[in-house]
A and B are shown apart, each in its own frame.
Chain A
Amino acid sequence: MKKRRSWVRPGLALAVLLGLASAVQAASAVPAADHPEDPGFARATEKNLAAVFVLPKDLAIDPELRSAADKISAAHLARVREQLPGWIKEERAIQGDNSNTNRVYYAVVARLFNELALWQVEPGEAAYEQATLAAILSSPSVCRTGSNRPNQDFARKVLRIQAMAPAQRQAALATEAAQLACWGTPRTVPAWPALHPRDVVKAALVGKPAKPEKAAGARAPALPPLLASRLLSDGAPYEKLARDETCLLQHWWLRTSLAQGKSREEVLNAFRYGTLVMASDRFYQESDGEADAAADNPSGRPPYPKFAARFDVTGKTTVSRRFDAQGQAIEAGIVKREIEVGGIRGVRPLAFEDALDAATLRYALHPDTRPQAGKATEPLFTMVWALDPPDAEKPAAATAATPVKTSQTPKGKQR
């Protein structure tokens, strides 16, 4: 089974490092601006973030490039160190004097997760884009970090820069530095591809293994040995692939898409989204999934996903469904999301845009949600996800995890 490790686990790391869980009750009475836990939280958060920006010692990077990359990360971490106290104060100001410290911290962490995500999909200037695509095409080794941890964002970018021509490296490093300097500011990034890159690749793999009698041209191009072994011999599903393997699969699909005539801009965007590390990957907690599964009640309202509740993720998800002759939904896909996340303002909450997907799809495919007899089976279905107003006296996660306190409204709007 794929081992998932969190970049930062406020539920664990913050509670353990800062004694947050026991401190929350007392903390709520302290004036927001002077909360004694804030400096410690800022230090712990910076430390966790630093793990993203430290290139592993055994990663094969040219010394000169490594040195230049290290300078960029040091400058960025210094900048974040300056920014974090401001972000915390900003959050406390928004939440008011009775702000719940736990909610404040989750909001700040959400903002950081989102900055990481935006930075992953943000394109650079034309020359940077061209050099990046050429670097990715030059070798699948740009995917090889040797680690399955979700904090290899910077390492992947540096591997790509290493694959560029020496003359392009300096400019690419400058672009990376400039993009990092934009953290915390409103900006736009390209939209998701029309179809999720994961689903596109899954569909492309359906024809494998090919029947011997099929013509070579009638199937997707061949996989490299690593992927052939994992997918065809092991039978591993996409979701069980390690991060490097997922990257390699998206790399394979990027080449394929280009050969099929897709634009360079389009394939690069799909690659970035296909390898994007979402907040739920960085903050994975086994207990959340178990709690969600245990709370699942087929005949009632679906439980609010614990991860989404923890990070104050709300909004609407619209599902497209396909039905069989008996009116049972046999296929469902998210076609629209309107997501809001506490702490994220002025930019898309990209890192959390899938936070309600799984619960939505589970609900949409459940036999109990089929249209009533005699009614038309409309393909679109919208769910509205709302949380109770935060209770300043209780930790936010506990509030969200309590079914009684959780009010989510899966309105089966047939439209």
Chain B
Amino acid sequence: MIVRVLQSCLARRALPPLALALALALALTGAAPANAAPESPITEAAGEAMWWGDFAALERQNAELKRPGHLDEDGASQIELFRTGVNRSLKGHRTEGEAYFREMDALTLGWAQDHPQSALAHILHAEALLLHAWSYRGGGFAKDVPPAAWKDFNDYLRQAVAYLGAHADVALTDSHAHQVLLQAGRALGWDRQQLDAIRRDGLKRNPEDVGLYFEMLSSVLPKWGGNPRALDDYIKSVVEETRPQYGTAFYARLYASAAESEFGHALFENSYADWPAMKQAYEDMFARYPNSPKRRNSYAYMACLAKDKDTLLRLLGEIGKDAMAAQWGPNGERSLEGCRRWAGQL
């Protein structure tokens, strides 16, 4: 099924630069979204292994973490933490040039040729091509992208998809491949049904790969051609899918991510986010994963956005000195300070 989707997607033309220009660039998974865990030992180990070119270590870590039951104590997916580290190092620790990305393409292709039965090796090659594509595009506004860069951007995106298509029998056994496909497909302008089919196929491979829910979320954000209604529908559908294991937690997790990626302080004005539902979702989350200072900070931030002073004050009291500015939006320190002032704490 997924191969058919790929073939169909490859046959389509990519969105023209003008259409893409309407959307803001979305940083790949290397740029930590709001819901990403703070640097964990898993991320660090994966990042180091990638940075040093230790494929055997990456293969071991991936094999272990994609097995069931690898969730952090706050419910975060450990395989996501692994991928964050890998992506960060593959992308480079500085603004890398063309020679670097060409080298990464060759390195990962070599790994795939040496380990043809390794899904991870194939996926890393596709990811390298994807990062190469984004190196042309950059993470800024579309208006700032040189016209000639769009061709390279789209060429490399298509190469990544074509590569995964050619090695689908091996690569798609690991849901990491589906995440890469969602990233490429979104940038190439695939329609939502196709992307959702990829997401569902990935979740069949690994039901605990919650990163796929977040990857798909980006595709329904207004800046990527979605709209608030589609976003709300999507989030509600995910809540139903995940209810047995997570209760309604994904309502909060996904809307918090949407706030981070697009809506910011206007979440409750410009989307269909419902504060009572979100509050209940956080409570569900804490019932299952009580030990999460990060999520408590996120909850407090959302309470501030929702103008729920009582909840905010209660949470600020619980947080005490453990405030984590990274969970309070892009300008976290000031945002936290503003919320405290509004709540009368300052």
Contacts and interface: CB of A to CB of B under 8 A. Distances in A.
Interface string B87-104: 001101111111110111
Interface of B: 48-54, 56-57, 89-90, 92-100, 102-104, 106-107, 109-110
Interface in A235-271: 248, 252
A225 B54 contact: no
Interface residues of A, number: 25
Contacts of B107: 222-225, 228
Contacts of B99: 208-209, 228, 232-233
A234 B96 CA distance: 9
A225 B56 contact: no
A141 B57 contact: yes
A390 B106 CA distance: 58
A226 interface: yes
B144 to A, nearest CB: 21
A170 interface: no
Contacts of B100: 225, 228-229, 232-233
B101 to A, nearest CB: 9
A225 B97 contact: no
B54 A209 contact: no
B94 A225 contact: no
B51 A222 contact: no
Given A209-B102, A232-B100, A233-B92, A225 B110 contact: no
Interface of A: 138-141, 143-144, 208-210, 212, 216, 221-229, 232-234, 248, 252
Residue among A139, A224, A225, A226 with the most chain B CB within 10 A?
A225
B304 to A, nearest CB: 39
Contacts of A252: 53
Nearest to B107: A222
B51 A225 contact: yes
B54 A232 contact: no
Which of B48, B54, B89, B98 neighbours the largest number of chain A CB atoms within 10 Å of its CB? B54
A193 B96 CA distance: 35
Nearest to A232: B99
A216 B56 contact: no
B98 A209 contact: yes
Contacts of A208: 99, 103
Contacts of B90: 225
A227 B106 CA distance: 14
Given A141-B52, A228-B99, A233-B95, 15 more contacts: A139-B54, A141-B48, A144-B52, A208-B99, A209-B98, A210-B102, A210-B106, A216-B109, A221-B106, A224-B51, A226-B53, A228-B107, A232-B97, A233-B100, A248-B53
Contacts of B52: 140-141, 143-144, 224-226, 248
